Amino acid sequence: MSDENPTGYSDEDQMVVTASHLIEDYGTTFVGIGLPMRAALLAQRLHNPELVMVFEGGSIGPEISTEYFPSSTNSMRVSRQALMLPSITDTFAFTQRGYMDGAMVGCAQIDKHGNINTSVIGDFDAPKVRLTGGGGAGDLTALAEELTVVTKHEKQRFVEEVDFITSPGYLDGGSAREEAGLPSVERIRVVTDLGLLGFDPETKEMRIEGVHSHSSVEEIKENTGFDIDVVDDVESIDPPSDEERTFLDRIESAR
């Protein structure tokens, strides 16, 4: 699988567009750096003009410029014309109080119950690789009403059980999340370069719900490190429109 498919748009473009459509009806969303930020900005400019983006560094409702795209959630560029500039602690307190419709994050590993690892690969005390850590992602996945994970689809990334739970999904599945004292999450969805994944409402195990036009159910299964179910009516996800591709090209040229 190449980074650019025969139609001319990149796999990253498809991921960003698919993620942006998932937040078309959000009022507020907590946004991470990279693909999540591009997805939120695309959603705001083309689909959901009232969307309020919230950033970990303490910026709520900024007007992100497409001419000077931020390289970090702590960049002053995410403060441009913001509605509020609270402290980081207060920003996360808004999430705790239920003001966030959703959050978008990335991952190094994700397992069949939606738990995320961004801490270590291997044993925690003697890891093969020590990663950057969760930042505020643990708070977001524990408290947001909806969660969207955006990541490449690779077998070493989609594992039966993560090496370390940095950010909780459904824990062991079923009602384990609620039994651990965490708020229920309305839904978790995973957007990859191959398709869209969701979770069975009872078992809370990952399943294939949508496939990008350049991929297939078989390719998703081949690149997943565990047996994954498939819904009966798998969605065929449209490729990016000309308008979406033009906007993403503008963002890319500003990075």
* Structure token digits, residue 103: 């959050």
* Structure token digits, residue 74: 């702590």
Q: Which of 137, 189, 199, 127 is nearest to 163 (CA)?
A: 127
Tell me what the mean pLDDT of segment 99-128 comes to.
94
* Structure token digits, residue 88: 């980081």
* Structure token digits, residue 102: 């959703």
* Structure token digits, residue 47: 């689909």
Give the count of alpha carbons within 13 A of 197, CB side only.
28
Residue of 4, 12, 56, 160 marked catalytic: 56
Three-state DSSP class for 99?
Answer: coil
Question: pLDDT tens digits, residue range 154-202?
Answer: 999 999 999 999 999 999 999 999 999 999 999 999 999 999 999 999 9
Is 90 exceeded by the pLDDT of residue 9? Answer: no
Q: Give percent of the chain with pLDDT exceeding 70.
A: 96
* pLDDT of res. 68: 78
* pLDDT of res. 155: 96
* Structure token digits, residue 62: 């900024």
Which pairing describes strands 195-199 and 206-212: parallel, antiparallel, or unpaired? Answer: antiparallel
Tell me what the mean pLDDT of segment 88-94 comes to.
91
Q: In the structure, what pLDDT confidence band is assigned to residue 1 with cuts at 50, 70 and 90?
A: very low
* Structure token digits, residue 97: 């109080």
Q: In the structure, what pLDDT confidence band is assigned to residue 5 with cuts at 50, 70 and 90?
A: low
Cα(236)–Cα(252) distance, rounded to whole angstroms? Answer: 26
Residues 6+ apart with CB under 8 A from 182: 142, 168, 171
For the chain, give the mean pLDDT: 91
User: Do residues 42 and 16 touch, judged by C-beta distance below 8 A?
Assistant: yes
* pLDDT of res. 32: 82
Q: Give percent of the chain with pLDDT exceeding 90.
A: 70
- Name the residue with higher pLDDT: 138 or 255: 138
Cα(173)–Cα(115) distance, rounded to whole angstroms? Answer: 10
Look up 244 and say whether it is catalytic.
no
Count of Cβ atoms closer than 10 Å to residue 135 Cβ = 16
Question: pLDDT tens digits, residue range 21-59?
Answer: 999 899 999 988 788 889 999 999 998 999 999 998 889
* Total-model pTM: 0.91
Tell me what the mean pLDDT of segment 65-73 comes to.
78
* Structure token digits, residue 206: 């990952």
Is 90 exceeded by the pLDDT of residue 85? Answer: yes
* pLDDT of res. 251: 79
Cα(166)–Cα(134) distance, rounded to whole angstroms? Answer: 6
Is 50 exceeded by the pLDDT of residue 2? Answer: no
